[in-house]
Amino acid sequence: MIKQYEEETNLRLHLLVDSSASMKYGQGEQNKYEYASSIAACLAYLANRQQDATGLVTFDNKIRRNLSPRTSRYQLARILEALDGTGPNNTTDLYAIMREVAESVPRRGVLVLISDLLGVGDSLVKALSLLRKRGHDVIVFHTLHDEEIDFPFTGATRFEGLEDSRFLNCNPRALREGYLEALNAFLEGTRRVCARLSVDYEMVRTNQPLDAVLAKFLSARASMPTLKG
């Protein structure tokens, strides 16, 4: 005779939201930081309903806000308040941040990184490796604006860097092909890194409906013990 049962466990969810200056890109709801915050809020809401402990870290080159995971009914409000109170600024130092997070989270948990990953360079590999070595389940929401993916610009344009003082005067049409080539190489590289480290990777465009993004993500995680829809 076979007995079948389902074990309920408490999940510790860490939401890591990139608040560097590059996340400022985009207007209104399609602003990358806004979009990342929305993802974080939704996930926090879902986890909170399941009585899972949910924490939040917003960071650029430093940790700006750090809320330890709790199951309290007020945790969601604190998370929302923390997201709302943080403005995108500065550059990103992903590895330093992740090392700090890893050290401050002794128990294994689920770490959700919501970032555009721009300007992180090789530190992405090191950061994800570090988290994975600590036994964390890592999920990456790679948040990019439509214009960053399609580069639809025409006419003489002066592009000025959001995270530094670099700029370029150019005819964007002339550079589009090279740009897309470099971007795709970056995306492909990121996907490969995540796959190699068994990190769930989800590339999201800021014009995608949030529910569709989350539904797709959650259905993919359906076999997971928690975070089910």
Partner 1 sequence: MQFLFPSLTIGFALLAVPLLVHLINVLRQRRREWAAMDFLLASYRKQRKWIWLRQLLLLLARTAVIALLVAMLAGWAGRAGWLDVLGGQTNHHVVILDDSLSMADQSGGSTAYRRALSALESLGRRLSSSEGTHQLTVIRTSRAQLVVQAGSQAGDAAADLSAQTIGTENRTLDRLMATDASPMLGGLPEAVELAAGLIEATSADRTVMYVMTDLRSRDWENPERMNVSLQEIAKSTAEIRLVDCSDEPGQNLAVTQLQPVEDVWVAGVPVMVEAKVRNYGQRVVTNVALDAKLIQYGRGVTVPRSDQLFSGNVETLPAMVIERIEPGGEATKRFQVFVAEPGTHALNVSIPDDVLAADNQRSCTLPLSDQQKVLIVDGDPSGGAAYFVASVLNPGGQVRTGAVPDVRPISFLNSVTSEELARYRVIYLLSLPRLEDSVARLLDQYVSDGGGLAIFAGESIDRESYNRLADARPGLLPGTLLPVKELPLPTGDATPDLVPTGTHPIVAPLAAVGEGAFGLVRVVRSFGLEASRDQSLSVRTVVRRRDDQPFVVEHRRGSGRVVTVLTDLNDASTNWTGDPTFVVFLLRTNAFLWSTANPEVSRLVSQPIELRIGNEAFGRSVDLLAASKAPPRVSIQLQAEVDENERFLELQLSPALAAIDGSMDLQALMQPGVFEWWLTRLDGSRESLPTASVLPVGEGDLRRLKRVDIDRVLQPTIVTFYDAGQMAMANESDGGGGRTGILLALLGAMLIGEQVLAYFGSYHPPARARA
Using CB under 8 A as the binding criterion, the count of chain residues that bind partner 1 stands at: 40
Beta carbon nearer to partner 1, 93 or 116 = 116
The answer to the question of residue 28 lying near partner 1 (CB under 8 A) is: no
Lateral strand order in the sheet of 110-115:
63-70, 53-59, 12-18, 110-115, 137-144, 200-205
The answer to the question of residue 220 lying near partner 1 (CB under 8 A) is: no
The answer to the question of residue 177 lying near partner 1 (CB under 8 A) is: yes
Contacts (Cβ under 8 Å, ≥6 apart) of 71: 10, 48, 51, 52, 53, 54
DSSP readout, 50-87? Answer: TT-EEEEEEESSSEEEEEEEE--TTHHHHHHHHHHT--
* Per-residue contact string for residues 69-108; x = within reach of partner 1 by CB under 8 A: ----------------------------------------
- Between CA 79 and CA 77 the distance in angstroms is 5
Q: Letter for the amino acid at 145?
A: H
- Between CA 220 and CA 229 the distance in angstroms is 11
Question: Among residues 13, 15, 25, 83, which is the contact residue for partner 1, using CB under 8 A?
Answer: 25
Residues 110-129 interacting with partner 1 (rule: CB under 8 A): 116, 118-119
The answer to the question of residue 183 lying near partner 1 (CB under 8 A) is: yes
Beta carbon nearer to partner 1, 12 or 145 = 145
The answer to the question of residue 188 lying near partner 1 (CB under 8 A) is: no
The window from 16-24, 102-110, 190-198, 202-210 that contacts partner 1 (CB under 8 A) reads 16-24
The answer to the question of residue 189 lying near partner 1 (CB under 8 A) is: no
The answer to the question of residue 148 lying near partner 1 (CB under 8 A) is: yes
- Between CA 53 and CA 228 the distance in angstroms is 15
Contacts (Cβ under 8 Å, ≥6 apart) of 191: 201, 203
| Contact predicate 180/119, CB 8 Å | no
- For binding to partner 1 (CB under 8 A), which residues are involved? 21-25, 32, 116, 118-119, 145, 148, 152-164, 166, 168-171, 173-179, 181-183, 186
